[in-house]
Structure formats: C-alpha cells, structure tokens
A and B are shown apart, each in its own frame.
Chain A
Amino acid sequence: MGKSLVGMVGSGVVLGSFILSVMAWMQVKESGAFEANAFTWLEVGSLHIEFGFLVDELSSLMMLIVTGIGFLIHVYSVGYMHDDVGFHKFFAYLNLFIFSMLLLVMGSNYLILFFGWEGVGLCSYLLIGFWYKNKEFGKAARKAFIMNRIGDLGLLIGMFMLFNEFGSLNYKDVLGAGLSSSYAITCICILFFIGAMGKSAQIPLYTWLPDAMAGPTPVSALIHAATMVTAGIYLVARSGVLYTASPDAMQLVMYVGLATATFAATIGLKQNDIKKVLAYSTVSQLGFMFVALGVGAYTTAMFHVTTHAFFKALLFLGSGSVIHAMGGEQDIRKMGGLKKYLPITHLTFLIGTLAIAGIPPLAGFFSKDEILTNTYYGGGSFVFIMLCITSVLTAIYMLRLYFLTFRGSFRGTREQEHHLHESPLSMTLPLIVLAILSVVGGFLGVPEWMEHKLGLHHTLNGWLGNVVHNAAHPAVTEMFEYTLLAVSIAILFILALAVRTFYISRKTLPEPDEEEIGIVKLLSHKYYIDELYDAIFVRPIQSLGTFLHDYIEKPVIDGLVNGFGRLSKSSGKLIRLLQTGNTEFYLLGMVLGIIVIFVLNFIM
C-alpha cells in the first residue's frame, strides 16, 4: 500500500470509530447505558468472564476523547511521519493502540479493562521504541513497560481479591450494591491504585513517562498525554463506589496525587527539552486529577481529563510542529523567536499555554477551578494551599517554555533558521481544532454560580452522575469564586510580566548543563530519582542474579548434586570389591538371599 492510502485507511477507521462513538453517546443520552456480551471468554469453576462491553456515560465520554483526539492525531501523523521508513508500522501500532484503549474503557468487567490496560502498555512500549535502532529509546521503552507491569501486578492481585470478595468481576455486580467499608475493600482500592500509579505515572512509578518522550511526538500527544495515562483516573473513577467506601484509600490517593503534582511541577521548572517540560507537566496534571479523586470529586477529575486531553494534545502537537521545523532539535535554549516563522503553531501553542495556566474562560480554568474548590472543602487547607502553589508553578514553567520558544530572537544555527517553516495543513489543522476545543471545552462544566448567569448547566456533572457521584460539599459562595478568579488572573498577569522580563527583556538564558549548580542542578537532574532507583532496585537485582548464579547455584545447589554423584561413585568402588569373580561366593550370596526371603515370608 502506498503511504497516502495507509494514512487514509489508518485515519479513516478511527474517524469511523469516532462517528460510532458519537452515535453510542447519543444512544446513552436517550435510553441510558447498554451492555453487550460478545461471548464467554472464560468459565472455570465459579469464575465466569464474559467478553462483554458496557457503554454508559463514563465510557462514552472516554470513547469520544479517545477516538476524537485519536483521529486528529492520526491526521497529524500523516504529515509528521511522512518521511519515516516505518510509516506503515506506525499506523498499525497507532490503530492497535486505539483498539486497546477502547477495550479498556468499554469493557463491562475488570478483566476486559485489564486486557486493554496491558494492551495500551504494549502499544506504548512499541511506539516509544519505534525508532528501534537507538539503544536509549529501547531502554526507555522497556522501562515504560516494566514500570507499568509493576502496577499491573497490583491491579491483578486486586482483581483476585475483588473476585474473592464479590464472586464476580463485573462492574454491575461489584459496584451496584451499597457497600460498607471493610479492610478488604481498602486493600482492593490500594491495589487498584498501585495499578493506576503505574499507568498514570504517579509517585513512585512516574519516572517512565518523561523517558517515554523518546517516541515520535504524535505518540507523546496521544498516548503519553491525552489518553493512555488517564486510564488510571478512569479506573479509580469507575471504581468510585469502592473508593467512597474506603476513606483511608482516598486519603492515600489524595496525598500521592498532591505529592506528584507538586514534585513534577518543580522539575518542570528547570527542564530544557521542550517535550520533557510537557512530560513533567503531564505528570503534574495527572497528580491534580488524583487529588480530585482523593477528595471524592470523581466527575471533576473526569472533567480535567477531558480539558487536559484538549490542551495537552495541542501543546504536544505544537511542540511536534516546532521540532519538525527545527529539524529535530528539542532544546529550547537553541530556539527563540519562532513566532514569526510558525504563526499558526505559535498562536495555537499560546492558547494551549493559557489554557493549562488557567486563564478564564479557557478550558483549563474551569476544570482546575473545580478541582481547587473541591479540594478546599474535601482536602483541608494544607492540600488546598499546596495545590494553589502548584498551579502557580504550572503557570511559571509553561510561560517560561512559551517565551523561550516563541519570543525573543532565534538562537539556533543559520542553517536551522533557513530551514524554519510552518508545518503542512495536515499538521496545522489538528492544531486549530484542538485550539478551539481548548478555548470552549471548559463550558462542558461551568461552575454553579455561573450556571444561572450564562444559562448553561454543568453538563458533565449531571451526565456522569448516573455512574459516579461527587462527594457532597457545601455550596460555594460567589465571593469565594470571584476571589479565586480575580487572584488567578492577577497572579498570571504578574507572572507573565516577570517571566517575560527575565527571559526576553534581560535575555537571561537557562545555563548550559555543565554550569548548573545547587538547586538548579538538582531540579534539572530530576532530583536524581532515576539514579536512586538504579541504585536501590536495578543494580541490586542484577547483582543478586550474578550472586545467585555464582555463589548459590554452582557451589551449593549443583555442588550438592555433584556431591551425591561422587558419593555413589565411591560407594560403587566399595561394592565393586564384592565382585570377586568367585562363583562360590556368588552362590553363597544367593542362598543367603533365599533364606532371608523365606524368613520374611514366614514372619509376614
């Protein structure tokens, strides 16, 4: 097949899925959730698992995101990957990913979810290591797969416990009944959360996601920002009934989310690779979503999943357009002034930046605002304040990224400057669509106090309310909201000015790697967590492997076996002495033997 045909088929089928998802969504809207079982996948004893699908409000939302953004990114890839020798393979993997992701969100039981869960992990592995000749990329791919598998083991054991407790893995059977809290449910929730930590890159299993940026940029946008990494959020939101029954597990979710959000945001402040900044930003934003889940605001978390999918996909695709124009360069210290060369990319990237920074009325403002309000009531003041500070950090690293990339003057080579060009339509069109979504996406869930004024309803809350409920909290006063609004606009304005002054007017640049010192060095080396893991997990296990092989296997286990062998050999030498060749001696032995047999027979 020719490349254009591959691109068309690859994108076309996803467009088809999108249209079907819209139809499914309309059906859910009209007549509620529906289930369909394809066949019995497995029946062993009391374990009965249908290859079944459930389309309800929650899954149809995810389906729309996956296929909608998936389609845009497929179109983008036609342009972005056009000159790659692995073009066919790329689209095959990308379609396999969409399949797995749909399996994940459409399954009607935890096992089908797990199929998709591992399937997307596999696609992620294949696509991170897409340029397989590069050893580092291969390493990043394996790291992603293995870290995900650590989480998967948690999810798997959680499923066994769940089955033990409920006798079923179906959402309908498990989540339908009213639950009272118990030790077992807390364990299940924590085990599921371990799975979510792996997939959604939370502390301590987050280090694979920044490395995953080794994959082609459309992959980073689709898998490592908009869809796959939100699977953990989906899992917890889907199991909301279980989590509500376990306040301990929810506390854990909240604190891990908060720690991840803050931690990753600080690292994002000092990264110089355009994709790495966005990667840490993704980790941080996922942390926000887990905080929302942890305070019981399940629909809010899903709201942020949605808006984040819009603006983060936009930002990644924008960065892809930049990298494309720069001929593969990803270091923002070598960019600058791209505004005039890449007008569409610049404008859409700016919209994405403002959206994630939380400028009203862009999408990010509404969802983040809702997370903050829910945290204010459900999480206590410490969590609230930390989250506010993290929001500020978010704005700082995004503005830094924006200014260094697009403003000021160009810092690259002359050759690069000559090469700079806006990307083709297949790449800019998705940018424009995503930019529009990033602007208007927030109106899916306007806060209560605006509902009357705008005549809009919090559509998403009501929509998802059939599946999971948010924990109730007192109505937010208008005063509180206005304060939040005013403060965030003011802070952003000041920040923008400050960052601009620092990087543009004063022309300060991030120092070259070797000149970094103190906290800057610590941040740019990501707190040395990779090195730490290497020292406490990777190398000890490797050494253990060598130790077991050299010092246990050979001398002890095999030594014992050989010892037994030698023992029988030497005893054989002894017995050989009996073989004298003397026939009378043998006869004597025979007679004695017969006597013994007779005697034994007599006794028994």
Chain B
Amino acid sequence: MAILLVLIPLLSACSLLLAKGMAKSIAVVSSLINLGLTFFFLSQFNNEGGFQFGDDLIWVERLGLHFHYGIDGITLLLLLLTNVLTPIILIGSFGRKYDNEALFYGLILLMNAGLNGVFMSLDGLLFYIFWEITLLPIWFICAIWGGHDRIRITLKFFIYTFAGSLLMLLALIYVYLQTPGIHSFDITALYAVKLTAAEQCWIFWGFFAAFAIKMPVWPFHSWQPDTYTVSPAPGTMLLSGIMLKMGIYGLIRWMMPLAPAALKDSGQIAIWLSIAGIVYAAIIAIRQQDLKRVVAWSSISHVGLIAAGIMTATTAGLQGGMLQMLAHGINVVGLFLVIEMIEQRLNIRDMSLLGGIAKPAPKLAVLFMIIMLGSVAVPLTNGFVGEFLLLNGVFQFGIWAAAIAGLTVIFCAVYMLRIYQLTMFGETNQLTATTPDVNPREFWLLAILCVPVLFFGFYPQPLLDIARNDIENLLKIIAVSN
C-alpha cells in the first residue's frame, strides 16, 4: 500500500504533461495527497519495530530480484520529511514564473516519487534503481532552469554523483554474489551475508563513496557549493532539504549493517573526514559573500556532524542523526526560501549590497530569525536536540573528536549571525529601503516551517519514539555481525 507514495506523484507527473494548463494545481494536489497519506501511515504506525505497509513482489525470479518495500521508523521519519517539504517547495516556487511549467512541476513530482522509493526500498537493486532515478529529474531541473554556467556545473554534479553510485552498485553486486542459493538482493539476505574484514573494508568504501558524494562529506564536496548556487531555488531546496538525506539514510540502512566490522577501522577514518569537513566548511562559510553560498557551505558543515554522529554507531548518534536530518531539512529549506524571497525582490544575493531589511520587512525578519536560530541550534529549537545528541555520540567516540566537532557551536553562530546582520540589520540603502514585506503565501510558508522549529525543540520525544526500536534493532544487527 505504501507504494502509493511513489505511484501518485508518478501518475500525476504523467497527467501533467497531458493537462499542461493545470500544472501547478495538479502538482500541489498530488503532493498534498502524498502528505495526507504519510500522515495516515504515521497514525497507523506501530513503533515496536519492523517494516509495515509493505509488500514483497517477485520481480525477476531467476536473478532473485524482488519488488520489496516497506516502512519502518527510520523510513517513516524520512517520508515525513520528504512529503512535508515537497508541497512547501512547490508552493514556494510560485513566486517566480518558470518556462515550461508542466515539465518543471512534473520533474519535481518525479523527484518526490523517486525519493519516496529510495527510502522505502528493501531490495538492494530496487534501492539502486530509485537512487539513480532521483538523479535525472534534479539534473534536468538544475540544468534547464539554472543560472550562469549551469551546463558545466550540473554536468560535473551529474558525473560525479553517478560515478560514486557506480561504486555502490559494484559493492551491492559483490554482496549479492555472496548470498547463498539463488542469489538475492533482498535486504535480509544481504544482511545475513558474512564477509571477511578485508571484504567489508572494500564494501564500506564502495558505499561510502556514493553516500559521501551525495551528502556531501569532505573532501567529496566540491560539486556542491556551485550546484546549490547555480540551481533554481526549488532545485536547491530539493537537493539540500531532501536529496542529501538519501546519502545519510544509505549509511544507516545499507553501509553500516553490511560492513559493520569496517566501522572499527575504516569507519574511524570516515568519521574524522566528516569532522574535518565540519570545521573546513564552517571556516569557508564565514568568508562568503553570496547568501546561497554561505548556506551551501553551512550545509556541508552540518551534514558532516550528522555523518560523524551516525557512524559512531551509538544510540545517541543515530537518534540524533535521524532528528537532525529532519531539522536540517526544515531549516535549510527555510533559509533558501528566505534567500529566494530576497532575491525575487532585489535581484541580488550579494550581502555587501544588502542591509536594513528588518525595517521595511519586519515579518520577514522575525520568521528569518526563528529559522536562523533553529539553524544555530539554540536550545528549545529543533536544531539543538539533534546537535546535542550527535555531539554526545561523537563524545563517546572520543573527547577530542567532540571538542573539534563542537566548534560548529561557535562557527555556526559566527556565519549565521553574520548573514542575518548583513541582510536584516544596519541602515537600509537605496535598494533595500522599499523591500516589500512577505505576502500571505510567503508568510504562511515560513510560518509553517517555524512550527516544527519551535515545537520539536520544546518536545522532541514523539519524533524520537518513532524510530527508537528500529534503531535499537539495527544497532543489534551491527553489534551481532561484529
């Protein structure tokens, strides 16, 4: 039944091409149906652990391919993120007119279908297929509607991520070939494979290459700042809000359970790479002038902490990682929405030309402030809970690791307060003096994003309860096969 989450946007995307005039409404309705469905699954969800609402259809019997999907707590949280953000991103794009609307919104719906598929797949090959499917629409979105120099930048993004994915495919096939009897890509069969430490090391890096490029983790990140900057706002939001979570999800669902022994040695290197990225990206973010670039670099920094925390394979790290995926998704989409609103009004993103917007646009200033505070991880906002748990996880890995990763507490305040200061505070100039405040559509979009920022900062436990048992089970799998 959960496959509806893939089918609905897929069919809507097709119908869009037929009924071109109604592109916007079809897209929004379709995304809202998916949102409703996700809430329905949430209401019916049993958090005692295990996959629900799924099915296991034989696809290619001789090759052991199954169309196997389902929803557990980990998946459910990411479905929530995907299907809450998609309508917001869609409606957020209405401020600008895009050529060939039907194609544009169709591609966004395709993204939605692909993302839901990635998070629900319980068959290795199916996962891989959805993984690659998501790459195409986002590439088209960025390459068709992007800004200056988009062809070169998006091509690099495409080839780079695709190359990483191929390494993952090799790793998947290798494990597949080790399954007994008729080989199987089924997740349980793959989990059951016993590999030597040396094999696991290769598998680890194969998967890590794909996931690290997707997130991205330092030093596999160099495609990201350019791509985020050049993409149209909805593309940037899809990439940063949802798509990068595919990489983090991959760590949890595939890499760590398939190569648990490698966590002890290769995993340490990967954790340190992630931590290096936290500091590296934050320091660069401090010096950027383009609003989008600051947030792009900040995303690398934040994702580094999520990756590091998750790879510590501790309860705190994993729970924190799950929570922070949601928080980061919401906050980063909020930030890019604000940037898009500024850009729509003033046609610039260069902070040295901005300033004083709080005066002509006080509502925008307040909403921006709340989202920014979530991003800075002030306690009682959503960003804090995840950061606290992740740093706690990293602390269990090593106190110095936690101290260095913790520098994000300081640096994030530096670059976020800086962009807030340079855009909202100070004297207005000729350009910014008459900046219109948010219209009702924009107000409600940002206000809706502010609700989870504040609510889950104040009361995070309901979210933690959703994935609690599935995370414990996963940690058991990792510990046992160790």
A238 within 8 A of B: no
A160 within 8 A of B: yes
**Interface hit among B200-208, B235-243, B385-393:** B385-393
Q: Mark B370-405, 1 if CB is under 8 A from A, else 0.
A: 000100001110001100110110011001001100
State which of A40, A545, A557 has its C-beta within 8 Å of the C-beta of B283: A545
Known: A118-B379, A553-B222. A544 touches B409 (CB 8 A): no
CB contacts under 8 Å to A, within B144-175, are: 156, 159-160
Q: Is A181 an interface residue (CB 8 A)?
A: no
The proximity string for A residues 517-551 relative to B, scoring 1 for CB distances below 8 Å and 0 otherwise, is: 00000000000000000000000011011101100
Q: How far is the CA of A125 from the CA of B280 in the complex (A)?
A: 26
Q: Quote the shortest CB–CB distance from B421 to chain A (angstroms).
A: 5
Number of interface residues of A (CB under 8 A): 48
Pick the residue among B284, B359, B407, B461 that contacts A553 (CB under 8 A).
B284
- Which of A115, A142, A545, A546 is in CB contact (< 8 Å) with B379? A115
Shortest beta-carbon distance from B382 to chain A in Å: 13
Across-interface contacts of A133 in B (CB, < 8 A): 356, 359, 425-427
| Docked-complex contact A145 and B283, CB < 8 angstroms | no
**Helix, strand, loop or mixed for chain B's interface?**
helix
List A contacts of B421 (CB < 8 A): 138-139, 142
Contact (A132, B358) CB under 8 Å given A39-B459, A118-B378: yes
Q: Is the CB of A119 within 8 A of B380?
A: yes
- Does the CB pair A149–B409 fall under 8 Å? yes
Is A561 in the interface zone, CB < 8 Å from B?
A: yes
CB of B417 within 8 A of chain A? yes
Given A164-B395, A561-B222, A565-B159, answer yes or no on A549-B460 (Cβ-Cβ < 8 Å): no
Cα–Cα, bound, A129→B388 (Å): 27
The proximity string for A residues 126-143 relative to B, scoring 1 for CB distances below 8 Å and 0 otherwise, is 000100111100110010
For residue A150, which residues in chain B have a CB less than 8 angstroms away from its CB?
410
Expressed in whole angstroms, the Cα–Cα distance for A443 and B391 within the complex equals 46
Complex CA distance for A115 and B379, rounded to whole angstroms = 5
What residues of B have a CB within 8 angstroms of the CB of A45 in the complex? 314-316, 319
| Known interface pairs A135-B426, A138-B426, A142-B421; A161-B406 also in contact (CB < 8 Å) | no
Interface stretch among A151-159, A229-237, A376-384?
Answer: A151-159
Q: Mark A45-66, 1 if CB is under 8 A from B, else 0.
A: 1010000000000000000000
> Is the Cβ of A548 less than 8 Å from the Cβ of B283?
yes
Q: In the complex, which residues of chain B have a beta carbon less than 8 angstroms from the beta carbon of A152?
A: 409
Tell me whether B409 and A142 are in contact (CB under 8 A): no
Measured between alpha carbons, how far is A134 from B402 in the docked complex, in Å?
37
Q: Is B326 an interface residue (CB 8 A)?
A: no
A157 touches B464 (CB 8 A): no
The docked-state distance in angstroms from the alpha carbon of A41 to that of B385 is 10
CB atoms of A156 and B284 under 8 A apart:
no
Contacting residues, chain A, for B316 (C-beta < 8 A): 44-45, 47
A157 touches B222 (CB 8 A): no
Cross-chain contact B464 with A43 (CB below 8 angstroms):
yes
Judged by a CB distance under 8 angstroms, whether B20 is at the interface is no
> How far, in whole Å, are A132 and B365 apart by their CA atoms in the complex?
12
Q: Which of A43, A47, A548 is B280 in contact with, Cβ under 8 Å?
A: A548
Chain A residues in 8 Å Cβ range of B373: 122
Measured CB to CB, the residues of B under 8 A from A are: 156, 159-160, 219, 221-223, 280, 283-288, 314-316, 319-320, 356, 358-359, 373, 378-380, 384-385, 388-389, 391-392, 395-396, 399, 402-403, 406-407, 409-410, 413-414, 417-418, 421, 424-427, 459-461, 464, 468
Q: What is the bound-complex CA distance between A134 and B378, given in angstroms?
A: 25
If A41-B461, A119-B379, A142-B418 are given as contacts, then 18 extra A-B residue pairs at C-beta distance below 8 Å, sorted by A number, are: A39-B459, A44-B389, A44-B464, A44-B468, A47-B389, A114-B379, A119-B378, A132-B425, A133-B356, A146-B413, A146-B414, A149-B409, A150-B410, A541-B286, A542-B287, A544-B283, A545-B283, A548-B280
Inter-subunit contact B424/A42 (CB<8 Å): no
Residues of B within 8 A of A44 (CB): 315-316, 319-320, 389, 464, 468
Q: Chain A: interface secondary structure? A: helix
Q: Closest CB of chain A to B469's CB: distance in Å?
A: 12
How far in angstroms is the closest Cβ of chain A from B213? Answer: 10
A-B contact pairs, 15 of them (CB 8 A): A39-B461, A41-B461, A42-B460, A42-B464, A129-B425, A132-B358, A133-B426, A135-B425, A146-B413, A156-B391, A157-B402, A161-B395, A541-B283, A557-B221, A557-B222
Q: Which residue of A lies closest to B418 (CB)?
A: A142
- Cβ–Cβ < 8 Å partners of B320 in chain A: 44
Task: Name the A residues within 8 Å of B358 (CB-CB).
Answer: 132
CB-based nearest B residue for A125:
B417
B392 with A47: CB separation less than 8 A: yes
Q: Is the CB of B319 within 8 A of A160?
A: no
Known interface pairs A44-B319, A114-B379, A138-B425; A149-B283 also in contact (CB < 8 Å): no
Contacts of A513 in B (CB 8 A): none
Closest 6 CB pairs of A and B: A545-B287, A45-B315, A558-B222, A160-B395, A132-B425, A115-B379
B459 interface neighbour in A41, A119, A157, A544, Cβ under 8 Å: A41
Which A-chain residue is minimally distant from B218 (CB atoms)?
A557
Residue with the greatest number of chain A CB neighbours at <10 A, chosen from B403, B407, B410, B424: B410
Contacts of B221 in A (CB 8 A): 557
* Chain A, residue nearest B460 (CB): A42
Residues of B within 8 A of A546 (CB): 287
Q: How far is the CA of A145 from the CA of B417 in the complex (A)?
A: 9
> Separation in Å of the B165 CB from the closest CB of chain A?
15
With a cutoff of 8 Å between Cβ atoms, the chain A residues found around residue B385 in the complex are 42
Nearest-CB distance from A4 to chain B (Å)? 22
Q: Which residues of B contact A548 (CB under 8 A)?
A: 280, 283-284
For A558, list chain B residues within 8 Å (CB): 222
